[in-house]
Structure 1
Amino acid sequence: MLLFDSILRVYNSVISPPITPRKRDDAIRIGLIGASNIAPFSVITPAKSHPDVIVAAVAARDIKRAEAYARRYGIPVAHSTYQALLEDPSIDAVYIALPNSHHYEWSLRSIQAGKHVLLEKPSCANATEAKKLFKHRLITAPNAPVLLEAFHYQFHPAWQTFLSQVHQSPGSIESVSSQFYLPRLALGKDDIRFKYSLAGGCLMDVATYCVSSVRQILGRQIRLTPVEVYYRPLSISRNSSAEEPQIDEGVTATFLTPDSKAVRIQGDLASAGGLSSFLPASWAKVLPTLRWPTSKAVFEPVLVESIAQEDGVPLQHLSKRSVTIWNHIFPFIYHRIDTSDQHTLLRGEEVIKSWNETSYQKAYNWPGGDRRAAVYKDWWSTYRCQLEEFINKIKGRQGSAVWIDGEESIAQMETIDRTYEKAGLEPRPSGDFEI
């Protein structure tokens, strides 16, 4: 049943939503800047189940590509340039899934044109661009268009349930970690992720999720100081490392918080793969190279009880908690939240007894009785959840209260830049566009 349920959720969320409501007269008309591979998952299919969203146009640098894309996905209008789409008066909002190097320019151009912007992560090529973007007068003006960096995983109830478990746990966090791997050969050698001029690299892709995750756990505005960073250069078999010496194909980084908490991330664009041990055995033959993205918080030991003894040496009951979420990036496929308490009975320095208690939780929707549970559906993808809140913000409606503001996006890029610098690499280059 586990595998069947996952397949059904994937079918409903990614291929064919079970609900396709009639579009409202005031639906937001979205234009796609770039005929990207991610848009069918992030916007086109999610929009089918949203009564307030119409994917109305697509623009590409090649009109033939735009027209072919429009035919394939049933988009009524194809534009030959990005600017032509911005000048289309029927378009209310845009989705930008261009190479990272183009995010700053086309976000500003879109805002200048009065369009709301759903911007793929990372928001910009570097922190300098992020500050200029999110603090720009066009963005900070009263009644400015909505600008949202698309860290889609944050909007799903699974991630928010995990955070609630973390933030409600007793004691202080001792350490946090996050990892995200793509299997080897998932990306071709000419993929934009391997181009420095396009602001590529592992830290700008899968590892940026890891940075975001640990910052969410510790606090959105937390400053992380990288103390050790190791990266694997671009594989010669994929592309000559001499041609792209600034590209990190894989990265492992350790950070410290201002109060010396340990933070560790691992990301890889070409992992050798291998199943995580928690997977059901029946999945092994189907997904032989899968390694779920995970995030984990480990807490300092907490004194549960101290029992006085006749000899004056108390019997102490200590508990050390860890909270782990498996597959928080794509939880609609499958996920699990593990809350584990390691108990120890101590008499002085002597361990009298130890045992472990673990509870398991899933959250495909908000808790029963929550007003949000009546709106959200169990089969919604992270992208559908994100689209819901993007439209709520545009419409001025009460949403789930999950949002990513400009300060968070700036802090995210600052952490990435510091990490590159610690690794001996350059932050990704800025463009020359200005308004």
Structure 2
Amino acid sequence: MMFFGVLHRVYAGFINPPPVKKNTDAIRFGLLGASTIAPVALINPAKSHPDVVIAAVAARDRTRAEAYAKKHDIPIVHSTYEELLQDPCIDAIYIALPNNLHYEWSLRSIRAGKHVLLEKPSCSNAEEARALFNHPLLKAAGAPVLLEAFHYRFHPAWQAFHARIHSDPEAGRVKKAFAEQYLPKGAIPENDIRWRFDLAGGAMMDFGTYTMSCLRQIFNQELVEVVDANPQSLAASPDVDRAMSASYRTADGATGTLVADLSASGGWPLLASSWTKSLPRLGWPKCEAELEEQTLESSEGQVHTVKRNVTMWNHLAPSIYHRVDVEDTHMIRVGTQVVKSWKETKREKAYKWPSGQSQGEQEWWTSYRYQLEEFVNKIKGRNGSGVWVDAKDSIGQMEAIDATYRKAGLRVRPTSDFDLQA
């Protein structure tokens, strides 16, 4: 049954979402760029949303835009990005351009009065992020909505993981955290924009944005110190990280580690490392949290404590499959002696909200579909799940990435020529 459930969620969520009738006041999206991520991140999720219409696309190459529009049934093609922004029929803009263009075209979109769904990372660096998210246009009455698209956070699975760390009575303070994501070696071609410094590329600007965001979510606070940062840089471009591993410390002394690798090899289980070191590495994205031991009960000289570890498997595509492992180690002590100990392990899944915060939600809803639901809710002033990525969060994210690059001895990604004060 689990296998058929996976097939259904993949088919309905990613391949052929069931279409719905659109409302007359549906939000009309324009796409800046004919990107490869848009079908997964917005075009397919929009099919099942009655308040979203994908209305237009613009690309630097009109021929490419026309082919893209035909493939995805998008009715309007604009010759330039600016032409799309000036289209009075467009309410919201989806930006999945190269990282170095995020700041400029987000601000241009906001100036045009459009809401913005902005792919991560929000900007090339923290200077741009502060200028964008603190812009006066976003603080005015009736301001456009701007959201950095950390889609994984909107899925009930991530929030279930987060709750097991921060909301359960048996959850102590987070002591250690770990987040890792690997892309198999060879998955990204050598001429890809991710390998270009001038386009704000690198592992920390791609998978590293997720692992950084995960650590910050697990700790529920900022990382005040980069303890160590070890990049694997490209020979042809030393400031571009193919992979990054880094460790951090919070203000209360907790420690966290991230690993982000865009060309991972080796690490195959049950096989000698020498046999697999040149083979592409496979595996689920993973996040772990180790909590401090805390006292549950103390009476008549006996102390009952519990120490929790929580692991989240596959937070990036939880609608396909995910698992939250909760392991509680109980100990009963008399003085300093442990007289009894046992473990309680739970394996949990959450494809839907337990209390139905999203109307009409289905188990096959992807993290992108849940994200779109909240984006629409915010624009229309509706209550929803309450999950959001606010301005402070997005700024803190880029500050942490910049600090990691500095600790690694790499240059922070260049600031846009577009006037930061404009």
The answer to whether TM tops 0.5 is: yes
Partner of 1:338: 325
C-alpha displacement at 1:413, in angstroms? 0.4
**Residues 273 and 291, structure 1, Cα contact 8 Å, conserved in 2:** no
Residue 224 of structure 1: SS of its match in structure 2?
strand
Q: Which segments of 5 or more consecutive residues in structure 2 lack a partner in the other structure?
A: 271-279
Q: What is the one-letter code of the residue matched to 2:253?
A: S
Superposed CA deviations along residues 367-407 of structure 1, whole A, max 9, x for unmatched, are 1xx24254321110000011111111111111211111111
- Classify 1:275/1:306 alpha carbon distance in 2 versus 1 (closer, same or farther; 3 Å): farther
- Name 1:261's counterpart in structure 2: 254
Cα deviation for residue 345 of structure 1 reads: 4.0
Return the offset for 1:316: 4.1
1:73 aligns with 2:65: no
Alignment of 1:276-355 (within 5 A): 289-306=281-298, 308=300, 314-355=301-342
1:109 partnered with 2:108: yes
Relative to 1, partners in 2 of residues 1:275 and 1:138: Cα closer, same or farther, differing over 3 Å? farther
Query: Deviation at 1:289?
Result: 4.8
Deviation readout 1:58-109 (Å, 9 max, x if unpaired): 1100011101111111111112211111111111111000011000000000
Kindly indicate whether the alpha-carbon contact (under 8 Å) linking 1:184 and 1:273 is maintained by their aligned counterparts in 2.
no
Instruction: For 1:168 and 1:84, locate their aligned partners in 2 and report how far apart those are by CA, in whole Å.
Output: 48
TM-score (norm. length: structure 2): 0.93
**1:364 equivalent in structure 2:** 351
Amino acid paired to 1:412? Q
Q: Secondary structure at the match of 1:211?
A: helix
- Paired with 2:99 and 2:38, the residues of 1 have a C-alpha distance of 15
Classify the secondary structure of the residue corresponding to 2:232. strand
Moved more, 157-166 or 115-124: 157-166
SS in 1 for 2:357: helix
The yes-or-no answer on 1:187 pairing with 2:188 is yes
Alignment CA distance shift 1:22-1:137 (3 Å): same
Alignment of 1:56-135 (within 5 A): 56-135=55-134
**Alignment deviations for residues 32-83 of structure 1 (CA, whole Å, 9 cap, x no partner):** 0000000000010000001111101111000111011111111111122111
Partner of 2:164: 165
Alignment of 1:361-400 (within 5 A): 361-367=348-354, 370-372=355-357, 374-400=359-385
Query: Does the 8 Å contact 2:358/2:385 carry over to 1?
Result: no
Q: Which residue of 1 is the match for residue 10 of structure 2?
A: 10
Structure 2 vs 1, CA of residues 352 and 76 (structure 1 numbering), >3 Å: closer, same or farther? same
Aligned mates of 2:62, 2:93 — CA distance in 1: 18
Q: Secondary structure at the match of 1:166?
A: helix
> Deviation of residue 175 (structure 1)?
1.1
Letter matched to residue 417 of structure 1? D
Unaligned runs of 5+ in 1: 235-240, 278-287, 309-313
Instruction: Give the corresponding residue for 1:282.
Output: none
Aligned mate of 2:241, from 248, 270, 286: 248
Deviation at 1:317, TM superposition (A): 3.5
Deviations 1:236-280 (A, max 9, x none): xxxxx1x31101111111100011101111111011265789xxx
Deviations 1:133-163 (A, max 9, x none): 0111222222111110000011111111111
Shift of the alpha carbon at 1:193?
1.0
How far off is 1:354 after superposition? 3.4
Which amino acid counterpart does residue 94 of structure 1 have in structure 2? I
Equivalenced residues, count: 409
In 2, Cα distance between equivalents of 1:420 and 1:137: 29
Q: Does 1:421 align with 2:393?
A: no
Paired with 1:155 and 1:185, the residues of 2 have a C-alpha distance of 30
Superposed displacement of residue 318, structure 1: 3.0
* Alpha-carbon distance between aligned partners in 2 of 1:373 and 1:96, rounded to the nearest angstrom: 25
Matched with 2:276 is: none
User: Does the CA-based 8 Å contact 1:101-1:431 persist in structure 2?
Assistant: yes
Deviations, residues 96-132 of structure 1 (Å, cap 9, x unaligned): 0001100000000011111110000010000000000
C-alpha displacement at 1:176, in angstroms? 1.3
For residues 17 and 400 of structure 1, what CA distance do their matches in structure 2 show? 22
Q: CA RMSD in A?
A: 1.7
Whole-angstrom distance in 2 between the partners of 1:208 and 1:68: 31
Q: TM-score, normalised by structure 1?
A: 0.90
Q: CA deviation at 1:346?
A: 4.0
Contact 2:195 2:202 in 1 (8 A): yes
Tell me, in whole angstroms, the C-alpha distance in 1 between the residues paired with 2:413 and 2:53.
34
Structure 1 position 4, deviation (Å): 2.5
Partner of 2:186, secondary structure, is coil
1:19-30 superposed matches below 5 A: 20-30=19-29
